Each structure stands twice: as structure tokens, then as C-alpha cells.
Amino acid sequence: MILGQNQYGKAENRVVKITRDGATHHIKDLNVSVALSGDMEEVHYSGSNANVLPTDTTKNTVFAFAKEYGIESAEQFGIHLARHFVTSQEPIHQARIRIEEYSWERIATSDANSRFIGADEVKHSFVRQGQETRVTQITYDGTQWEVISGLKDLVVMNSTNSEFWGYVKDKYTTLQEAYDRILATQVAARWRFNWTDDEQKMPHWEKSYEQVRKHMLHAFAETYSLSLQQTLYQMGSRIITHRSEVDEVRFSLPNKHHFLVDLEPFGLKNDTADGAVYFAADRPYGLIEATVLRDGCEARIPVDMTNL
Ligand SMILES: O=c1[nH]c(=O)c2[nH]c(=O)[nH]c2[nH]1
């Protein structure tokens, strides 16, 4: 018998850092998971802990680094941690840092429109954004870096400009062709940066995230969709076209079906004209998944990664 792939570390370190800029506070709220691998045969075979940096220490390092070096971005923080584990401990050959980031929005306390007219925002009160979770994974083996960032649970809907027809029909097909339907999904996406080692050429992680997210949303909104597959491809290709730091994007898009309710039994006509009523089904759902790649680049984002 031999030992196969193995890794260890502390998972889900919830670290919150508050930075004070006078009365204005800033929050970084992360969930950091560390996975280390290297010369770990002996701890498995004989129980010798000689090569084992305790998972407890990896947890402490996460919190200490947040204090000592700050959290400029999830990516930057992950890179710093990965480098530390691989370069400070001889037996550790690879570090994988996964980070989820939760965002907070300032609470506006004057009238409902205050956010739009720049009126008072409480400088130290926040409401957790119910929107997406930002994610990143940094892997370092002592020479090469791999940075894959992304998001999950970003729920989007187009209330028109979506059709679905012309599909294969066999004896089990009952689906009616749709010429004006709702298109809704909960986006899970991962994108791989082509940055591998040159510190000078490191992307601006925060700006990159905002821009990738923007292109993704604009493509979703602006595509007149004949299928969710087509929309997915547009979202990915818009990112590849506009963001030179990204070589590969992978999506997992559940088709959140909205079915027109049959109201005929109540003598009510219900079609897509004004005032239509839909049943939002939660399952089963179509699941549309694909990778969009820059020409000449290799697909490296694992197929099931977007479901993490
Ligand atoms: O956008 C869609 N793609 C499909 O492959 C599909 N299949 C289905 O039943 N409805 C849809 N919608």
C-alpha cells in the first residue's frame, strides 16, 4: 500500500479586519482555508509529526498576517500566506489558500434616496450585502503561482429578451417553445489569471474583480438570448475580450425556471403580455456549465470547481 494525494491545514478561518480612516471604517470579512502538502509520508505511516506544522499554527498565521500586513485584497492576502508556508517550512512543497469574501455596504440613515444624492452614510455601520460571495484560490509550489478567482450566488434575471425554441423533440418532449420568457440564474463563476510569478506584473486584484463582474453582468443584460448556453458564452467571451489578465472563465449556471401559471380554470388569461404571473420553480433546474478560453490557452479550472 502507498499513500496517495494528501493535504492538511485549518479550514474556514473567519477573519474580520477593521481599518480606521478617521471616523470612516473599512471592513474586510474573509473565510480563509489553508491546505498544505509536501513530505508528509511519515505522519501517515508512523505518526511522526517531525514535518508537521500544526493546523493550529496555520490558523494563527492567518490572524497574525491580517494584523501585521493587512488585507489589501483576498488575492494579495492569499499570495502572502502561500508564499510564507512554502518558503518558511522545508517539508512543505505546496500551499493552496482558498478564500471567500463577504461584502458589507454602509448603512445610509437619512431618507431612502440618500445613497444616490451622496447624503450621510454612517461611517461605521454596515449591512451585509445579500449578493454574491467573492472567492479566490491561490496555489504556490515554490516557483509557479496559480490564481483562480470568482464568485458564487450572484442572482440575475432578465424579464424579457429571452427565447427558447428550435430544440430537438422526441416522444418525451412536452416543453412548449418560448418566444418571450424569463431568464434567471444564480451565477457561479471562476476565472484563471495568467499571472504566474512576476511581482511587477501582478494584476490590481480589486479593480480586476470589479471589472470582470461588470462585464459579466453587462453581457447578461445586453445579450438577446436564444438559450442560457448562448448567454453563458457571451458572458465569458466579454471577459476574455476586455480583461487581458484572464485566460479562462468557467461558469455553472442553474436555469431558474419561471413557468407561466395556468389561470384558465379561474377564467383568467395569463400570457407574457403585461401583468403575467409566474411560478418560480426551485427544482429541478437545468444546469448549464462551460468554460470559455482565450485562443491557444489550456483549460485548467477543474470541471467541478464552480460548485464549491
Ligand atoms: O436556455 C435553455 N437551454 C436549455 O438547454 C434548455 N432546456 C430546457 O428544457 N430549457 C432550456 N433553456
Give yes or no for residue 228 CB within 6 A of ligand 1.
yes
pLDDT tens digits along 84-142 = 999 999 999 999 999 999 999 888 876 555 554 455 677 888 788 777 999 999 999 99
* DSSP-derived secondary structure letter, 39: S
Residue 287 CA to ligand 1 center (angstroms) comes to: 9
First to last CA, the chain: 31
Give yes or no for residue 290 CB within 6 A of ligand 1.
no
Burial of residue 62, with CB atoms counted within 10 A of its CB: 0-12 exposed, 13-18 middle, 19 or more buried: buried
Question: Is the CB of residue 289 less than 8 Å from the CB of residue 251?
Answer: yes
Q: Give every residue of the chain whose pLDDT is below 70, as ranges.
A: 110-120
CA dihedral 239, 244, 249, 254 (to 10 degrees): -20
Residue 134 CA to ligand 1 center (angstroms) comes to: 27
CA distance 225 to 217: 14
- Is 257 catalytic? The answer is yes
Give yes or no for residue 175 CB within 6 A of ligand 1.
yes
Give yes or no for residue 162 CB within 6 A of ligand 1.
no
The reported pTM is: 0.91
Catalogue the long-range contacts made by 106-110 (C-beta closer than 8 Å, 24 or more residues apart). none
Question: Is the CB of residue 141 less than 8 Å from the CB of residue 93?
Answer: yes
- The pLDDT value recorded for residue 130 is 73
Give the Cβ contact number of residue 55 at 10 Å: 16
Give yes or no for residue 223 CB within 6 A of ligand 1.
no
CA distance 95 to 210: 26
- The pLDDT value recorded for residue 273 is 86
Closest residue by Cα to residue 189 from 112, 132, 269: 132
What DSSP line would sit under 112-146, residue for residue? TTHHHHT--EEEEEEEE-SSPEEEEEEEE-SS-EE
Task: Give the three cell numbers for residue 191.
Answer: 476565472
- The pLDDT value recorded for residue 61 is 98
For the chain, strand residue ranges (E) read 13-21, 24-38, 92-102, 104-108, 121-128, 133-140, 145-158, 183-193, 246-255, 258-260, 278-280, 286-293
Residue 303 CA to ligand 1 center (angstroms) comes to: 20
For residue 207, the one-letter residue type is K
For 39-193, strand residue ranges (E) read 92-102, 104-108, 121-128, 133-140, 145-158, 183-193
% of the chain beyond a pLDDT of 90? 86
Give the residue, out of 185, 253, 255, 289, with the most ligand 1 atoms within 8 A of its beta carbon, to mutate for a pocket test. Answer: 255
Residue identifier of the C-alpha nearest atom 12 of ligand 1: 227
Question: Is the CB of residue 293 less than 8 Å from the CB of residue 240?
Answer: yes
- The pLDDT value recorded for residue 111 is 58
- The pLDDT value recorded for residue 165 is 98
Q: Is the ipTM of this complex over 0.95?
A: yes
Closest residue by Cα to residue 27 from 40, 36, 15, 35: 15
Residue pointed to by grid coordinates 448603512: 107
Residue 211 CA to ligand 1 center (angstroms) comes to: 29
- Phi, psi at residue 201, to the nearest 5°? -100, 20
Give yes or no for residue 255 CB within 6 A of ligand 1.
yes
- The pLDDT value recorded for residue 116 is 47
Given the residues 55, 57, 139, 291, the one annotated as active site: 55
- Is 169 catalytic? The answer is no
Work out the mean pLDDT of the chain and round it to a whole number.
94
Of ligand 1's atoms, which has the minimum distance to the CA of residue 183? 1
pLDDT tens digits along 38-68 = 999 999 999 999 999 999 999 999 999 999 9
- Is 269 catalytic? The answer is no
Report the DSSP pairing between strands 258-260 and 246-255: unpaired
The strand pairing partners of 133, in sequence order, are 152
- The pLDDT value recorded for residue 113 is 52
Task: Give the three cell numbers for residue 221.
Answer: 443584460
